[in-house]
Amino acid sequence: MALRMKASMFVGLFLLSLAWKAAWAKVQVNMEDRVEVFLGDTAQITCMFTVSDSPDNVIIQWYMITKTNVRLRIYYGNSTMQVVDRGGQFTDKISVNGMGNSSEVVLTIRDVKLEDELEFICHVNGMSVGSKEGRTMLRVFASPDRPIITGEESGISVSNENPSKMGSCEAKNGYPRPNITWYRDQSSLQNTPGEVSVVTLVTKVSSGLYTVQSDLHLNVVKEDKDSFFYCEVSYLVPGGTKMTESNKINITVYYPTTSLDVWVESPKGSVKEGDTVEVHCRADGNPQPPFTFMHNMEELKSEPNVLVLKDVTRQSNGNITCTALDLDTYEETLGQTELFVDYLDPAVLIPKDTHVMAQGEELMATCNALSSLPTHTVWFKKGKKVAEGHTLTLKDAVFDMAGTYVCVVKVPSLEGLETTGSLRVFVQGRPEIKKSADPVQEVSPEKTQKLSCHARGYPTPVITWSSSDKSQVLKLSQRETEDEVLSVVSVKVTSDITAYCNASNEHGTVSVSFSLKAIVQTTSSALSTTVTTPLVPVTVVAPVTVTTVTPVTPPKRVKKEGSGVVIAVIIICILLLAILGSVLYFLYKKGKLPCGRSGKQDLTKPNKGGIVVEMKSDNTEEAVLLSVNGDKKPPSDQGDKYMYVQK
């Protein structure tokens, strides 16, 4: 019995020692619960393990769990070999690296597809020390395209009883399935019975990606016309969640009209007579209802919302009413505005049109116009301002005050509103002749000269012409106004003449004279000689040619009356020279004038019958002796300036 107890104790101790050894000799494996990666990227799944007692060989095996929950091996290996199982979906896209005790191995999956989203198992076999395995779930993500939003183009009426579709939002090619949320301005829209309804349609395409379409149905209100709607897509990514917003849209909301706005669009500001007026009418409803315009209880034709009034007058003043008819409820809405047209009547002058005043008198003229606004008057004469204010005063009237005065009446506060009037003023009196620029004029004989005479006065002067020698005065033109006259005549000049312009009216006569001087231009020559008796020195005076006009430039002008005398003197001188030459030639032929060669003869030995004349010209320093026989002697042979003449 004691022996049996000892044997049992020994066996128990042996088994306890084996259990204790097994508890300390074991394999440990650590893996992540999940690995997340984008579609098309590379995934790495890490398996960290520890094996006790340093076994010589550890076998690593990788498995996958299929969609049908089947466990399939895709890899096994140890420190000396690595084998990828053939014929599987991962045969050509996985690799494993890292082996050994208390180490890690990494399963690398290239170009991850959606079908790769599986659970992977890392099995570590420590042989004598046992085996252990860990699991990791591979998650694949694909970001969807930017959402596309479309609004209801036909518009939505606030009178609809049930929510109306106002827009649609679509997000394509996402994985896992994205979610869509609708927003009005900054507030999200959730399903609310009778007010908001969101209908979502999810489609999975052949690639495994999801397309989500969300339609928003809404009971719109008038305020929604100014609201902006958009959708937001939220989707998962490795390590978190992302959101993408669509573009914002505004929808057309139809709502009834409750009030009208009526105003004068053109012209801006005040309206004056003659303007074209545009009256606009706008309703606060949508769409705009048909409008009817009434002006002073009279219906007028108009454009859809514009009333045009052309060439308005002060009679156009009054009330303009716009009426809008709601085609759904057949209710009318009224709006109105007041039209006031400013005006300016034609100018009124006192005295009006024309006024005649005597020289020295005084005139006070007034000009104004009836207007709905204050006016201002300015007076002009020949385009120049002469006075300002409604009154024009002319004192001590003279001819210069005669003329047309224009008064311009304006409304300073309204541009373009103005009128004008004119007053013609005549000043009575004896005529005045405007001074001639040159009352004395020199004219060549036998030429025609134009003369002008400008006279003024009232009544209009009558101009007549006369001349001192009864010459014919030919009238060329005459231009008359109510108080002025301009006469132009031509006179043919044969000698000195005086022309007279006479201006007369019932108050008297005045005249002015024009002196026309006939001028000629002449040049004459003279020869002066001195002849001596025998044995008496005879001096021949030079120059041969003498000009009778001084100064030489310009020639002296000689009156027509003395020209005949000058010509007669010249002819007599020429005849005397001819006679003298004939006498000398006759004496020479008779031999009475023998000429010696010497420049000077002895007084005791006179040369009988010899006459020598010395002549000198103004234009030369050379003196020539002319002997009776016609021989010329040079200056060196002429001798002195005196010679003896012997019979």
| Across 448-457, 578-587, 598-607, least confident range | 598-607
SS3 track for 299-357: EECCCCCEEEECCCCHHHCEEEEEEEECCCCCCEEEEEEEECEECECCCEEECCEEEEE
Stretch 196-211: mean pLDDT:
95
**Which has the higher per-residue pLDDT, 505 or 473?**
505
Q: How confident is the model at residue 56 (pLDDT cuts 50, 70, 90)?
A: low
Q: Taking Cα atoms as reference points, which of 165, 151, 327, 148 lies closest to residue 252? A: 151
Q: Does the pLDDT of residue 341 top 50, yes or no?
A: yes
H/E/C letters for each residue in 146-204?
CCEEEECCCCEECCCCCCEEEEEEEEEEEECCCEEEEEECCEEECCECCCEEEEEEEEE
User: Is the pLDDT score of 18 beyond 80?
Assistant: no
**Average confidence (pLDDT) over 166-174:** 96
pLDDT score recorded for residue 625: 34
In this prediction, residue 169 has a pLDDT band, given cuts at 50, 70 and 90, of very high
Residue 644 banded pLDDT, cuts 50, 70, 90: very low
Contact of 241 with 195, CB cutoff 8 Å:
no
Mean pLDDT confidence for 180-193: 94
384's CB contacts (< 8 A; 6+ apart) are none
Q: What does the pLDDT average to over 86-90?
A: 89
Q: Which residue has the higher pLDDT, 533 or 225?
A: 225
Predicted pLDDT of residue 344: 95
Is the model's pLDDT at 368 over the cut of 70?
yes
d(CA 47, CA 26): 17
Q: What mean pLDDT is predicted for residues 131-152?
A: 95
pTM above 0.85, yes or no: no
Query: Is 632 a residue whose pLDDT tops 50?
Result: no
pLDDT of residue 581 exceeding 60: yes
Among 291-300, 530-539, 578-587, 603-612, the range scoring the smallest mean pLDDT is 530-539
At 237-286, the pLDDT tens digits run 999 999 999 999 999 999 999 999 999 999 998 999 999 999 999 999 99
- 130 versus 1: which is more confidently predicted? 130
pLDDT, residue 535, reads 33
The confidence score (pLDDT) of residue 241 equals 95
Alpha-carbon separation of residue 291 from 37, 255, 302, 584 (angstroms) = 65, 17, 9, 133
